[in-house]
Amino acid sequence: MQHGKHAFTALALALFVSLLVIGAVVAAPREGVTASLSVAQGGLQSSQKILATVTLSNPTGNTVRILRWFTPAAGLEEPIFRVTLDGKPVPYVGARSKRPAATSSDYLSLGPGESVTWVVDLGDSYDLSGTGQYEIAYSVAAHGLFDRKGAAAPSRDVLASGTARVKAAGSVANLKVVTPPAPPPPGTNSYTACTTTQQAQLAAARSAASTYASGAASYLNAATQTARYTTWFGVYDATRYSTVRTHFGSISQAMATTSTGAGISFDCSSKQNVYAYVYSNKPYQIYLGKVYWTAPATGTDSRAGTLIHEISHFTVVAGTADVVYGQTGAKNLAVTDPASAVRNADSHEYFAENTPTLP
């Protein structure tokens, strides 16, 4: 999925580049799919590229179905690569989307003995501006990664490749930064490619989201531990509870429509089949997709709730991820993996929407 031009282009890495690829593969449990990765370093041109070639193979005698957005089938839709520079994680700066829960059409089929290969420009979604040794691997650990019909709940599966190493030594030219539009004043909104009706819907959604967020923050500040909390974030744990409370304090402040709130820029030009997406390091720009305009104003998976979801992704707010989508997945996550639930954006949205109402 292409989400628009990213805000940087890595320029030439000078003097010396060497490449070492480790060709090991790691099989996913039960499904038998393997992943391999190699990295090709582009020439020393005016724009430096690190290209990763990913191959998924099915050596079994059965067709296997893998969730498409955890592959590079349509570009990078999730942080599916583990990238480090001199041992330190390199930030993923690609899109964070809210999608409908996965359906059968969201899975990619790999027939018996079939392999599929993609080439990915890592610079589109990872900040590769530094010098030193990069270690790169395709690495996915996700609930519902494989389509297991009849399973009571999506299990958490792991699929990973071996590690490729790219050593880049020498000076690095400055990043070419695309300056984003100036944000609107605190507590207000600006609009790009939005009709008058869409602007009105977004203004109403922000107002409702502000109410949702302040209500959620009040609940948490009262140290309440009822079904509303445990349904979405799991059994009580003081550290996890404190994390969620801090998140909603920040979400509530950002969503406020007073001078203490964030200036939010809405962009209605996207035709992607998602509710919305953001780039977590670019607050507070929110891109609305096609699904957003079919959502109800309030309630489950609403226009208001979607804004809670997206605001939570910003690093300066809560830095949430998309571990699972949908109420069913979020409820299962709270039971099976509460540590992941407290960083899942949909879990925050459903807690705030509180539909149906839980005490």
Active site residue 310: yes
CA atoms within 13 A on the CB side of 278: 27
Residue of 77, 135, 310, 353 with catalytic role: 310
The DSSP bridge pattern shows strands 264-267 and 189-192 to be parallel
Rounded to a whole number of angstroms, the distance between the first and last alpha carbons of the chain is 39
218 CB-near residues (< 8 Å, 6+ apart):
none
Q: Is 156 helix (H, G, I), strand (E, B) or coil?
A: strand
Contacts of 66 (CB under 8 A, 6+ apart): 31, 33, 56, 107, 108, 110, 145, 146, 147, 159
* Token output for 114: 């079939």
SS3 342: coil
Q: Are 358 and 227 in contact (CB under 8 A)?
A: yes
Phi/psi at 69 (5° precision): -75, -5
Q: Tell which residue, 176, 173, 147, 144, has the closest CA to residue 157.
A: 144
* Residues in Cβ contact with 348 at an 8 Å cutoff, skipping those fewer than 6 apart: 232, 244, 247, 248, 251, 308, 309, 312, 318, 320
Reference 286, options 215, 209, 177; nearest CA is 209
User: Cα–Cα distance between 340 and 343 in angstroms, integer?
Assistant: 5
What's the full length of the chain, in residues? 359
The first and second tokens of residue 104, run together, are 């059968």
Looking at the annotation, which residues are catalytic?
310
